[in-house]
Chain A
Amino acid sequence: NAGVTQTPKFQVLKTGQSMTLQCAQDMNHNSMYWYRQDPGMGLRLIYYSASEGTTDKGEVPNGYNVSRLNKREFSLRLESAAPSQTSVYFCASSYRNTEAFFGQGTRLTVV
């Protein structure tokens, strides 16, 4: 079972570069999430999508954009990367906000 698949697993960007983090789930879940995890800060919600075609800002949305391409895919875009966006990014999905299933994460370094 694939579950939630994130790509890439690792990425190094220069300040000002852009990139898109991809996420796909095969569990037919309605809700999808993007979190970032920093030491001592826990998981902080960046953006959230309750269903295909809808997105909402979370706790830390500045500097990010998202697209819910279809029910399976939810991408996160950094338009102009900054060192403060160095983090581990997790995508997750759930059925009606019950158990959340997470991907393995993307480790992003912005230099």
Chain B
Amino acid sequence: TQLLEQSPQFLSIQEGENLTVYCNSSSVFSSLQWYRQEPGEGPVLLVTVVTGGEVKKLKRLTFQFGDARKDSSLHITAAQPGDTGLYLCAVKRAYSGAGSYQLTFGKGTKLSVIP
């Protein structure tokens, strides 16, 4: 089973519209990250949320961490063509050995903003 479920998988909207994408899990996390990946590039970190209920804003992007720290959302206001890309959520996951962690990603939401 996938640790992080992202929805929707694809989203195509007109410039100026608002949208929300989601990252859900049945597990509790100490923190959650959101990345954006543009075509032909590697993912780039947008934000890290740490506290349950936390809301962070990055210009037109609003990130929320669920109260129970199991889920997160990303809301974009007045989407622009430059917002086009793959949005990925990621969490630290304990792996073999004390203090050993890996970053696990969801499958992402592919956003297309049409001019």
Smallest CB gap from A41: residue in B: B107
Report A-chain residues with C-beta under 8 Å of the C-beta of B41: 104-105
- Measured CB to CB, the closest approach of chain A to B18, in angstroms, equals 25
Q: A42-B88, A97-B92, A102-B44 are in contact. Are A48 and B102 (CB under 8 A)?
A: yes
Count of B interface residues, CB-CB < 8 Å = 27
27 contacts between A and B (CB under 8 A): A35-B105, A40-B107, A42-B6, A42-B105, A42-B107, A43-B43, A43-B88, A43-B105, A44-B105, A45-B102, A48-B95, A50-B101, A56-B102, A58-B102, A90-B42, A92-B103, A97-B103, A99-B48, A100-B43, A100-B45, A100-B90, A101-B45, A102-B43, A102-B44, A103-B42, A104-B40, A104-B42
> 10 tightest CB-CB pairs across the interface, nearest first?
A102-B42, A42-B107, A43-B105, A97-B101, A99-B45, A48-B102, A97-B92, A50-B100, A42-B105, A42-B108
Report A-chain residues with C-beta under 8 Å of the C-beta of B42: 4, 90, 92, 102-105
Other A-B pairs, 17, CB within 8 Å; known A42-B106, A42-B107:
A35-B105, A42-B88, A42-B108, A43-B43, A43-B88, A44-B105, A45-B102, A48-B95, A50-B97, A50-B100, A56-B102, A90-B42, A90-B43, A97-B101, A100-B45, A102-B42, A105-B40
A99 to B96 CA separation, bound complex (whole angstroms): 20
Report A-chain residues with C-beta under 8 Å of the C-beta of B9: 40
A107 to B99 CA separation, bound complex (whole angstroms): 32
Report A-chain residues with C-beta under 8 Å of the C-beta of B64: none
Report B-chain residues with C-beta under 8 Å of the C-beta of A105: 40-42
Whether B102 and A33, one on each chain, are in contact in the complex, defined by CB atoms closer than 8 angstroms, is: yes
Asked whether B14 is an interface residue with its Cβ less than 8 Å from the other chain, the reply is no
Smallest CB gap from B9: residue in A: A40
Report A-chain residues with C-beta under 8 Å of the C-beta of B6: 42
